[in-house]
C-alpha cells in the first residue's frame, strides 16, 4: 500500500507539471508530427551521482495510469511493486528513446517523463525527473514552397517553386518559367503527387508521350518538404512565410 501511495504521489506531481530541482539535466527532442511523433531525451546525471550504481526510468502517464518503459523496449502498465527501470547500471550520460512514430492524437492527455536515481526512492525524494515536452511545430502543407537543394534530375528538372491548395491541386514552376499542374493525396505525412504529361504539362526540354504518368512522393516533417525519386534523386523545399 505504501508503494502504491508513493506512485500516486509521483503521478500527481507529474500531472501537475512541477519542475524537477537539481543540478542534473534532462533534454527532450520531439520530431515528426503529432500523428507520427518521435520523442527522445538525453539525461546527464548530477556530478555527485556520476559513476554510482543506479537506475534510469522512462514513464508515460495517461489519466489514472502510469506506464514504464523497460530495458527490453516494451511499455508495461504499473500495477504495484518496484518501478520497472529503463536502465540499471553505472549512472552518467544516457540517451532515452521514448517513442517513434506514435500517433499521439489518439492518446489525449498523454505525458512523458524521464528520471533517475540511486533507486526509485532517491528519484522521488529528490525530484530527479522532468517532463519531456511533446509539442511539435505544426507545419501546414498548403502554401508556397521554395526548393533549397537538390541532387539528380528526376524525370526533368525539379521545380524551383511548388504550391499546394487546400483541395487536391499542386502547381510547380521552375526557373525557366515552365509550369505544370498535378493532383495530390495525403496519407499521414506522405504526399503523393500525380503528374500527367500533356500539352499543358510539358516539361521544358522533355518530350513525352501524352498520358505518361509520373508519381512522386513528398515527405512533410519539421525539416521541410522533401522529395526522393526512385533513382535516389532528392530535393528539399522550405515553406515561404508571408509576413
**Do 72 and 12 sit in the same domain of this protein?**
yes
Degrees, nearest 5: CA angle 178-179-184: 150
- Within a domain: residue 189? yes
Residue predicted with more confidence, 86 or 216:
86
Number of helical H runs and strand E runs in the chain: 2, 17
- Single pTM value for the model: 0.54
**Do 119 and 20 sit in the same domain of this protein?**
yes
**Do 110 and 211 sit in the same domain of this protein?**
no
- Within a domain: residue 137? no
- Within a domain: residue 225? yes
Can you tell me the mean pLDDT for 160-169? 89
**Do 23 and 84 sit in the same domain of this protein?**
yes
Query: What CATH number corresponds to the domain at position 214?
Result: 2.40.128.280
**Do 123 and 187 sit in the same domain of this protein?**
no
Q: Name the domain count of the chain.
A: 2
Strand partners, 193: 184, 216
Count of beta carbons in the 10 Å neighbourhood of residue 103: 13
Question: How far apart, in whole angstroms, are the C-alpha atoms of residue 174 and residue 229?
Answer: 18
Q: Which domain holds residue 171?
A: 143-239
Question: How far apart, in whole angstroms, are the C-alpha atoms of residue 196 and residue 209?
Answer: 10
User: What is the pLDDT at residue 104?
Assistant: 85
Domain end residue (candidates: 132, 157, 177): 132
**Do 111 and 155 sit in the same domain of this protein?**
no
Count of beta carbons in the 10 Å neighbourhood of residue 132: 22
**Do 11 and 127 sit in the same domain of this protein?**
yes
- Within a domain: residue 108? yes
Question: How far apart, in whole angstroms, are the C-alpha atoms of residue 163 and residue 157?
Answer: 16
Closest to 46 measured CA to CA, from 131, 128, 122: 128
Domain end residue (candidates: 132, 151, 178): 132
- Within a domain: residue 167? yes
The least confident of 8-12, 153-157, 233-237 is: 8-12
Burial of 21 (0-12, 13-18, 19+ CB in 10 A): exposed
- Percent of the chain topping pLDDT 90: 38
Residues whose CB is less than 8 angstroms from the CB of residue 79 and which lie 6 or more positions away in sequence, other chains included: none
Burial of 158 (0-12, 13-18, 19+ CB in 10 A): buried
Degrees, nearest 5: CA angle 138-139-143: 145
User: What is the pLDDT at residue 65?
Assistant: 92
- Within a domain: residue 138? no
**Do 150 and 126 sit in the same domain of this protein?**
no
How many CA atoms lie less than 13 Å away from 24 in the CB half-sphere? 27
**Do 8 and 48 sit in the same domain of this protein?**
yes
- Residue pLDDT, tens place only, 55-94: 999 999 999 899 999 999 999 999 888 999 999 999 999 9
| Residue 1 reports pLDDT greater than 50 | no
DSSP single-letter state for residue 106: G
Count of beta carbons in the 10 Å neighbourhood of residue 205: 9
Do 65 and 77 contact (CB within 8 A), yes or no?
A: yes
Amino acid at each position: 500500500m505504501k508503494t502504491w501511495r508513493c506512485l500516486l504521489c509521483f503521478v500527481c506531481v507529474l500531472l501537475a507539471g512541477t519542475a524537477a530541482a537539481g543540478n542534473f539535466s534532462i533534454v527532450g527532442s520531439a520530431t515528426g508530427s503529432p500523428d507520427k511523433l518521435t520523442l527522445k531525451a538525453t539525461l546527464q546525471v548530477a556530478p555527485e551521482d556520476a559513476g554510482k550504481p543506479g537506475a534510469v526510468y522512462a514513464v508515460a502517464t495517461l489519466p489514472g495510469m502510469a506506464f514504464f518503459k523497460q530495458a527490453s523496449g516494451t511499455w508495461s502498465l504499473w500495477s504495484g511493486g518496484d518501478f520497472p527501470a529503463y536502465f540499471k547500471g553505472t549512472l552518467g550520460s544516457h540517451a532515452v528513446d521514448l517513442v517513434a512514430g506514435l500517433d499521439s492524437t489518439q492518446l489525449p492527455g498523454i505525458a512523458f517523463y524521464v528520471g533517475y536515481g540511486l533507486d526509485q526512492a532517491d528519484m522521488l525524494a529528490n525530484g530527479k525527473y522532468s517532463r519531456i515536452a511533446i509539442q511539435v511545430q505544426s507545419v501546414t502543407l498548403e502554401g508556397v514552397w521554395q526548393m533549397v537543394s537538390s541532387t539528380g534530375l528526376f524525370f526533368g528538372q525539379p521545380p524551383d517553386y511548388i504550391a499546394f491548395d487546400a483541395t487536391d491541386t499542386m502547381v510547380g514552376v521552375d526557373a525557366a518559367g515552365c509550369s505544370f499542374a498535378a493532383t495530390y493525396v495525403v496519407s499521414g505525412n506522405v504526399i503523393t503527387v500525380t503528374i500527367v504529361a500533356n500539352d499543358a504539362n510539358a516539361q521544358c526540354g522533355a518530350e513525352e508521350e501524352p498520358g505518361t504518368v509520373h508519381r512522386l512522393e513528398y515527405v512533410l516533417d519539421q525539416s521541410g518538404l522533401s522529395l526522393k525519386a526512385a533513382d535516389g534523386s532528392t530535393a528539399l523545399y522550405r515553406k515561404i512565410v508571408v509576413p
